Amino acid sequence: MNKPFSFLLLLVCFSSLAISQQAWKNKYDSLSLIVSEGTYIIYKNGKAGYAEEKTGKEIVSPQYDKARMFRNGFAIVSKRAGYDKLSSGVINKSGKEIVPPIYDYISDINDGIAIIALNEKFGIMDKTGKKLVPPKYSNLWEFSGGMAAVSIYDKNKGKDKWGFIDKKGKEIIPLKYERVCSYKDGIAVVDKGEKKYFIVNKNGKETALNYERIGFKGYGLLLVELNKKFGFINSKGEVAIPLIYDNAHDFYSWQRNGYLTNVRLGNKEGVIDTSGKEIILIKYDLVGLFREGLAAVTMDFIPAVDSKNGYVDSVGNLVIPMIYNSAGNFSEGIAAVSKKIGGRNFNYGYINKEGKEVIPLEFENASEFSEGLAAVKKDGKYGFIDSSGKVVIPFSFERVFGNFRNGRAKVVKDGKSLTINKKGETN
């Protein structure tokens, strides 16, 4: 009985949005589809402002180069301060500028405070714009448990020193550590250098941790090593995943697959999640990173000679059979693969996520797609193709350094290093 009502309510909401859009069609170029705290973001001539959801009344005329949704009664807005620079400020729901656009960055205002950045230094302000901490830190993380990790660069030692501050900016734990993890449950894991690791509480009391190495880049759990075995501890220093692996990496968030990491037992590799469950069984020679929901896996690996490669999904199912000599990461829906044609010679092409060869295996080399193009090699020269396999930039380069980024790619032609656009032009 609830489903028809929910569908009707959703239909009414979309109808209302469509009516609002039609009513404002001649006044604004566009408006945000998301409503936040009763407001839309409106756009006119490349500028952003705000209007009320119910009445369409303009709260702030389109005057900003960038605008974020309202959060807790405030919105972060930005104006251009140079060719590639925006300066940010804060407005309230009446459109008043609480903080003028003077900062390089302002975080969302949470619990009445926001992180600010100016000239590559970080500080804190309250919702009125008052500086609680002037921008002086090299790094300032989000608050957790009422504390935030901060660092200041030590010129004498050529590195940052880390500690913790509270929401008033008071340095609770001195800035004397090489590395730290986020403050949680009243404690944090810290590194004093020379492989000396500790748990430290808000009073600065240190409790030693007996590990040869601790990683500080993971999500939720920290990689540890002892006696050439790897495992993971939580933020309290407790063992969360036993030290049983011959190699492991920090946890990272890959696509929507949760927190995963590669681990190795003997000469075989697999993938586990933060509970220690094997998402991909530890039976492959190599396991690649998840990209667009799939990861390349390898068996019978002999570098530059032969191997068997296929792809598994996020639950470990082999969805593309192991029939390729090499398998690249998926990018823009397709991946470069190769097959052996004799000796150490291979042909490269592209497959989609169903394993269908969408671009024939006819190249001497092939790279990932980026911004709609990929570098491929034929008859000893490199060029660029689109996702249909059409040659967009002819085969005329001796080398290609990566793919297109921001409309440009670096290449070598006739022994000269050049930067080209998507038409192959150097200007």
- Looking up residue 410, the CATH number of its domain turns out to be 2.40.10
Is the Cα torsion angle 248, 252, 255, 257 positive or negative in sign? Answer: positive
> The tokens 């037992």 sit on which residue?
265
Report helix, strand or coil for 218: coil
Domain count of the fold of the chain: 1
List, run by run, the mean pLDDT of 10-residue segments along the chain (427 residues): 42 45 64 85 93 88 94 93 89 92 92 92 92 95 91 90 93 94 87 93 92 85 94 91 95 62 94 92 92 91 79 93 94 95 87 97 96 96 96 96 90 94 87
Is the Cα torsion angle 22, 28, 29, 33 positive or negative in sign? Answer: negative
Is residue 192 a part of any domain in this protein? no
Rounded CA-CA distance 349/347 in Å is 7
Is residue 170 a part of any domain in this protein? no
Is residue 373 a part of any domain in this protein? yes
Residue 299, token pair as written in the block: 């068996």
Is residue 377 a part of any domain in this protein? yes
Q: Which residues of 124-150 are buried (b: 16+ CB within 10 A; e: fewer)?
A: bbbbebeebbebebeebbebbeebbbb
Is residue 409 a part of any domain in this protein? yes
Give the other-Cβ count within 10 Å of 338's Cβ.
21
Rounded CA-CA distance 76/110 in Å is 12
Rounded CA-CA distance 173/166 in Å is 9
Is residue 168 a part of any domain in this protein? no
Q: What is the pLDDT of residue 7?
A: 42
Is residue 266 a part of any domain in this protein? no
Q: Which domain holds residue 415?
A: 367-427
pTM to 2 decimals?
Answer: 0.71
Q: What is the pLDDT of residue 26?
A: 62
Cα of 141 vs its chain's centroid, Å:
16
Is residue 219 a part of any domain in this protein? no
Q: Is residue 309 within 8 Å of residue 325, measured between CB atoms?
A: yes
